Amino acid sequence: MPKTRMFDFIAKTWNPIVGCSHNCVYCWARRQAQRQKKNCPKCGWFTPHLHEERLNRKFKPNTLVFVCDMADLFCDAVSRIWVERVLSVIRKNPKTLFFLETKNPYRIAAEFDFLIPKNVVLSTTIETTFDVISSPIGDVLYGELSDAPYPEVRYEAFRFHDFFKAFKKHISIEPILDFDLDVFVKWILGINPEFGVSVGYDNYNCRLPEPPLAKTLQLIEQLEKHGIKVERKTLRKAWWEENGEG
């Protein structure tokens, strides 16, 4: 059975901003936001926008809060002023831990390096090691699946930019796409995500260029052998394995 879209370690969510400009074909948040279109047309269109009233949210100490699971706080279409206002609220709640996930980590380092509070975990999604991903239905360019920076760019930010060394990090490999096993293990170990790695397959039948299940399990095994904590999300055979198309 598919697991929830949420990470198991997340207790609360907070969405002062909704919407994203990455246009990922597999995005669950866009589907979810469309249900709110009668209450908020901008949510329905998934246009990045600020919900001002949510900036007044109160947070309990010693809890972990996912910030903007219905957005990418650092996508290019989110106003710098909005980001600063969200970070200001985080800064005022130093006893609460906030989880910030983005597919645009270089923007964090370039624009907000002195504004990111220490009470955060920084996460990025790295679905594959390839720019062109093999598939039973033909090769797929990553840019056909998302307008976000390519996964290798995200890896390089987390691995080599000095800014990220001061923070606890997490990697999301979801939805997992086909990959080079040796390269992926090297990338993850180089980043050293103290908060762990979450691995899962697509839950929405998007027919993505997925790896065989055996290969994914091999990746998990190698990461765990090196002491990396792995959260298992939806693990299943690739759609093309199920359909006998491989």
CATH number for 212: 3.20.20
Residue 191 maps to a domain = yes
pLDDT: which is higher, 165 or 11: 165
Q: Mean pLDDT throughout 53-80?
A: 96
Q: Which residue range is the domain that position 25 belongs to? A: 12-242
- pLDDT for position 1: 42
Band of pLDDT at residue 245, cut at 50, 70 and 90: low
Is the residue at 173 inside a domain? yes
Structural domain total, the chain: 1
Q: 3-state DSSP call for residue 133?
A: strand
The verdict on residue 1 lying in a domain is no
Percent of the chain with pLDDT over 90: 85
pLDDT of residue 117: 97
Residues 89, 19 contacting (CB under 8 angstroms): no
Asked if residue 5 belongs to a domain, the reply is no
**Is 2 within the bounds of a domain?**
no
Q: Given this model, what pLDDT does residue 246 score?
A: 56
Residue 157: name the closest of 110, 200, 120 by CA.
110
Residue 6 lies in a domain: no
- Overall average pLDDT of the 6-32 stretch: 90
For the chain, count helices (H), then strands (E). 8, 11
Q: What is the mean pLDDT of the chain?
A: 94
Q: What is the DSSP letter of 162?
A: G
Whether the predicted pLDDT of 4 surpasses 60? no
